[in-house]
């Protein structure tokens, strides 16, 4: 099992063929095809071959990594092969190389995910790094005050993606871990981000099937539309038992320097132990503090962020 991205443990990378891994070997037909067309781009069914453009080794790796943005956060070997437009043999070889480098994780069901290492590289951009550094001390304060899971999320297409997650349990593998993705209509952070998205984004999302996970999931277009309007009016969202019956979540928008909302602060709580309405004020206060600090454009990170990063890196 892949260890989670809690702060107490680093992700465990399990190589293909390790204990309990079902990544699978290519079928005989794929092996025969690989022998016939040893170069991936020579296959007649490959559009790259038809265009006459040879895909480089780097291009194949990038296609493999790009498959995760198209196919979702967790995929099997065959799914990666299909989305990357690579044969199973090529996909299997490249996955092994990326696993060895630490760019992927695989669980005991044979599903692959992008690793924390990839997210760290993505976070190296100035905007993402500044956002995390600004938000982290406030997220830490909220986490310490409540003892509950706290996260920072952005919209990635039709999904919500988690940039930061603080939780008391260090070994967590759920989709609301750092780098994980969930559909927008099933989480409080996703609902906030959808509520403040452009109308064209909302209309596109509502045209897609709204999957129901529990009896409480907003799977009706009219109900979801009304809910988004309420979120904009109240400036917070509560998703009570939308994904599983045991969990509820609360979220509030972070307002950027330009006045737009592209980030949300969220909190997850056990549904049987907490009334999410009683957590709203704390979540909104945290989001407002992050918004304020972003407007002030602080050029140096908060000392608490520096200390947190040093501890996470094992420097102290």
- List every span in the chain annotated with CATH 1.10.10.10: 28-119
Residue pLDDT tens, the chain, 316 long: 444 444 444 444 444 444 333 444 334 444 344 444 444 444 444 444 334 456 788 889 889 988 887 766 688 999 999 999 999 999 999 999 999 998 898 888 889 988 877 766 665 555 666 788 889 999 999 999 999 999 999 998 899 988 888 876 654 445 556 667 889 999 999 999 999 999 999 999 999 999 999 999 999 999 999 999 999 999 999 999 999 999 999 999 999 888 889 999 999 999 999 999 999 999 999 999 999 998 886 555 566 665 655 554 444 4
- Total count of residues recorded for the chain: 316
Q: How far apart, in whole angstroms, are the C-alpha atoms of residue 76 and residue 71?
A: 10
pLDDT, residue 225, reads 96
Q: To 10 degrees, what angle do helices 221-234 and 199-207 make?
A: 150
Query: What is the token pair recorded at 92?
Result: 């299997």
Query: What is the token pair recorded at 289?
Result: 């503090």
Task: Label residue 76 left, alpha or beta by phi (over 0 means left) and psi (-120 to 50 means alpha).
Answer: beta
Other C-beta atoms closer than 10 Å to the C-beta of 22 total 14
Please tell me the CATH code under which domain 28-119 is placed. 1.10.10.10
Are the C-beta atoms of residues 264 and 254 closer than 8 Å to each other? yes
pLDDT, residue 157, reads 87
- pTM for the structure as a whole: 0.59
Are the C-beta atoms of residues 112 and 74 closer than 8 Å to each other? yes
- List every span in the chain annotated with CATH 3.30.450.40: 125-312
Are the C-beta atoms of residues 47 and 41 closer than 8 Å to each other? no
- Residue 72, classified by CB atoms within 10 Å of its CB into exposed (0-12), middle (13-18) or buried (19+), is middle
- Could you please state the CATH topology (level 3) that the domain comprising 125-312 is classified under: Beta-Lactamase (3.30.450)
Helices (H), the chain: 28-36, 47-51, 57-71, 77-84, 88-101, 116-122, 126-146, 188-195, 199-207, 221-234, 280-296, 303-312
Query: What is the token pair recorded at 134?
Result: 């600004």
């Amino acid at each position: 099992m892949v260890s989670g991205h809690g702060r107490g443990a680093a992700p465990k990378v399990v190589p293909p063929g390790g204990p309990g891994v079902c990544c699978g070997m290519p079928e005989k037909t794929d092996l025969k095809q690989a022998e016939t067309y040893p170069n991936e781009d020579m296959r007649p069914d490959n559009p790259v071959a038809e265009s006459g453009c040879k895909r480089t080794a780097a291009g194949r790796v990038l296609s493999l990594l790009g498959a995760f943005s198209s196919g979702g956060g967790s995929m099997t070997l065959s799914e990666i092969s299909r989305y990357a437009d690579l044969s199973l043999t090529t996909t299997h070889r490249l996955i092994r190389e990326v696993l060895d480098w630490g760019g992927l994780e695989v669980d005991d069901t044979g599903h692959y995910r992008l690793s924390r290492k990839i997210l760290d590289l993505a976070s190296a951009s100035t905007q993402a790094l500044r956002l995390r550094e600004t938000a982290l001390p406030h997220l830490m304060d909220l986490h310490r005050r409540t003892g509950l899971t706290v996260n920072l999320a952005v919209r990635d297409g039709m999904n919500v993606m988690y940039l930061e997650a603080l939780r008391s349990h260090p070994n967590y593998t759920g989709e609301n871990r750092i780098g994980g993705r969930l559909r927008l209509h099933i989480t409080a952070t996703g609902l906030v981000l959808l509520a403040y998205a452009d109308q064209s984004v909302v209309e596109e999302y509502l045209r897609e099937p709204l999957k129901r996970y529990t009896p409480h999931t907003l799977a009706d277009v009219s109900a979801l539309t009304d809910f988004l309007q309420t979120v904009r009016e109240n400036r917070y969202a509560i998703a009570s038992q939308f994904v599983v019956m045991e969990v509820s979540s609360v979220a509030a928008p972070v307002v950027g320097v330009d006045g737009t909302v592209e980030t949300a602060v969220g909190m997850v709580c056990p549904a049987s132990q907490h009334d999410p309405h009683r957590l709203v004020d704390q979540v909104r206060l945290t989001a407002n503090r992050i918004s304020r600090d972003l407007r002030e454009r602080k050029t140096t990170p908060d000392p608490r962020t520096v200390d947190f990063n040093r501890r996470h890196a094992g420097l102290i």
